Structures are given as C-alpha cells and as structure tokens.
Structure 1
Amino acid sequence: MKNQVNDKDKLADKLEADEKEKIEAATKEALEWLDENQNSEKEEYDEKLKEVEAVCNPIITAVYQRSGGAPGGAGGESATEEEDESHDEL
C-alpha cells in the first residue's frame, strides 16, 4: 500500500492530498506497531490489518470509481446483471 501511494503508475496521481495523508498515516502507524509488537498473537495482527483496511479500502474504492475502474463502471455489467442473465437460461 505504501509503495502504491507513491507510485505514479499506480495511485499517486489519482489520490487527493487528504486521501494520501490518511493512507500514509495508517501505514506508518501499522509499521510502527509491527516493529514494537513482533511477538504478538495472530489475532492481534489480524485486528491491526482490519484497522488499516478500514482506512485504505474506502479510499481505494473511491479512486477506482472516480477513474471508471470499478466493477460495473465504464460500461461494464454489474454482478447482479450477469447473475440475472444466467438465471434466464434455466
């Protein structure tokens, strides 16, 4: 995630300044936590991952929606439309 935020071929040019700051803060905090908690249980790692995902996933989704890359966007069919078509064949 940290690399994608700074890679112009990935997300760097598509993120708003505040979005980039939020992702950078979340990843920095997670990396610091990892450094300090190397002997933690799996559940603790999973919880920290969920915290980072809770910050990053909505931002990434918004970026792809703005750029037309979201499923169902840019003329593509949504999963519901595809499911409806498959049910018609029965």
Structure 2
Amino acid sequence: YWNRPQATAESYADSSWFRSGDMGCQDDEGFLFVSDRIKDMIISGGENVYPAEVEAAIAELSAVASVAVIGVADDKWGEVPRAIVTLREGQSL
C-alpha cells in the first residue's frame, strides 16, 4: 500500500505469501475460481466505492451475462474500479 508500510506488511503471510483479499477455490484439475472478495471496498480519490453495488447496476443490463468489479491501481486516484464483463451470446454493448 502506498506510503502505508504497516498495511503492506499485514498483506503478507509468513513474509512470502501475498494476501490479495480475494477468496476462491481450486478444483480437482487445478483450476482456480475466484468467488468473492474479503476486501469489499475500493477507495478512489477519497470516495468509498462498493464493488457489489457497481456490479448490481451493470448486471441490470440485459446484454450482461456476468460481471465482476475490481480495484486497479491508479496514479491520480490511488485506486479505481474496473469491470470485467461477459456478454450474453449474440449481444454487444
């Protein structure tokens, strides 16, 4: 975390494993599936953005099959939301 050494240190387990804040599972074939986030808030320019609320708004679009919103580092705002969207077959936006 930018200028937050304590928060950065807390993000590592055993000084080697990075805790991203994502939750998921691994299937029998070794595929990883991200199912949720432990850290459910993005702070962007001092504003709190809740990914679940943004996801719900995007999911209302009839062309959208699934959506996930994540926080992405940004030089100006610190972090910004980014949506990863899968469209329904034959749909476009």
TM-score under structure 1 normalisation? 0.27
TM-score under structure 2 normalisation? 0.27
Structure with higher helix content: 1
Structure with higher strand content: 2
| Greater C-alpha radius of gyration | 1
